[in-house]
Structures are given as structure tokens and as C-alpha cells.
Amino acid sequence: TAEMPDFYKEGEYDLSGFAVGAVKKDKVIDGKSIVEGDVLIGLPSSGVHSNGFSLARRVLDKSGLSLTDPLPRNDGVTTTVGEALMAPTVIYVKQVLDIISKGGVKGLAHITGGGFTDNIPRVFPKGLGAKIVTGSWQVLPVFEWLQQVGKIEDAEMLRTFNMGVGMVLVVSKDAADRILEESSPAYRIGEVIQGEGVQYV
């Protein structure tokens, strides 16, 4: 299900499709083996990834820009606001299956609605949480623009958007360096700690 306030007009509806996969019981990654000290690795996103559009639409309205206007950014790349907001979602399945096949992966968190704050803790056993090092990955210009124009607090950004990381792997310390090297670009974004929820440092 999805929450999309102010999107549908009366009499309109959405038709969507989905895929279901199957996995052998002995191959299930359920997070039960996650322990304190395991490493969190982030795989980059391409943009908003279809989450947070109610907020993004409000910011777009507030900005006075159209979808065809250039996105304000300072990295020398030219994209329109529309291109940045509608960048196709990264499909991680092939990359993630390849990483899993080489061992060391204990948990996976797809960073969808709820951002880091809601999605990462779901994969942990009770009593464990995450320490996320902000600034350890590249935040995409579209998120910087949304935050600046919308005057959005960091906490709301991290609970709404993927901020440039669309998938988080929980991996053993022993496997972390190998996975980072083989999965480039990828980011070491934090670690598993005692406690609940997500701490940002």
C-alpha cells in the first residue's frame, strides 16, 4: 500500500504491478545472526526512488520552479528539476544477489518510505540498533535542493528520503572491506550497536 495525499482526483485510481520472489529456507537472510559491531554498507540510489513525493511536490510548488527548469546544483552537472525527481529507481537485485553469493551478508534494508530511521532497525534482532555516520556517503543534489528550499529538518529528511543510499547491507566485519572493494561505488555508513533505533553522528 502507499500513502499519496493530494495525488488522486475523485474518480481516479492507480493500477500497479508487483513481483514476488521465492527463496529456499536455508538461504533466507532474516537478520537473526546480526551482532554488535557488524558493518552497515550503503549502495547508492539514483534519486528519490518514488518515495517522499507528497513532500517533494510541496517543495516544488514553494520553489516556483517548473519541471523543465535547471536543478540548482554546484557540481557542474546540468539536469532539470523533472529529471532529478523522476530519475529511474535503481533495481538492486542482480548486484545484491552477487554480493550475497560471496558470503558475509547478514541483513538487508531497502530504504523506501521511512528512510533510514524506519527501515534499518527492522532487520535487527531485539536490543540492537544502528549508528549512522552522516557525511559518509554522497548526498545527491536533489536532496540538498529539497531540504534547502523546503527548510526541512535533518530528522525529517532522514525519515522521508533515501538521501542517496537506496539499499543498506548489514555485513560481518570480516567481509566488509572485500564487499566495499567489490561493490564500488558503495559506502561504509555505520555499524550495529547496542540499543534500539538509529543514532546519527
For residue 176, being part of any structural domain is answered with yes
For residue 4, being part of any structural domain is answered with no
Which of 57, 62, 60 has the alpha carbon at shortest distance from 71?
60
**C-alpha grid cell for residue 14?**
492507480
Q: Name the phi and psi angles at 175, rounded to 5.
A: -95, -10
For residue 2, being part of any structural domain is answered with no
For residue 17, being part of any structural domain is answered with no
For residue 29, being part of any structural domain is answered with no
Whole-number mean pLDDT of the chain? 91
Structure pTM?
A: 0.86
- The pLDDT tens digits for 107-116 are 999 998 888 9
- The pLDDT tens digits for 190-200 are 999 999 999 99
pLDDT band at 8 (very low <50, low <70, confident <90, very high): confident
What average pLDDT does the segment 19-45 reach?
93
pLDDT surpassing 80 at residue 37: yes
The domain of 131 spans 38-200
The pLDDT of residue 152 is 94
pLDDT band at 4 (very low <50, low <70, confident <90, very high): low
Whole-angstrom distance, CA of residue 116 vs CA of residue 159: 6
- The pLDDT tens digits for 61-107 are 999 999 999 998 767 788 999 999 999 999 999 999 999 999 999 99
For residue 7, being part of any structural domain is answered with no
How is the chain classified by DSSP, letter by letter? Answer: ----TTTPPTT-------------GGG---STT--TTPEEEEEEPSS-TT-SHHHHHHHHHHHT--TTSBPP-SSS---BHHHHHTPPPP--HHHHHHHHHTS-EEEEEE--TTHHHHHGGGGSPTTEEEEE-TTSS---HHHHHHHHHHT--HHHHHHH--TTEEEEEEE-HHHHHHHHHHT-S-EEEEEEEESSSEEE-
Provide the domain count of the chain. 1
Which of 96, 111, 139, 138 has the alpha carbon at shortest distance from 198?
111
CATH for 64:
3.90.650.10
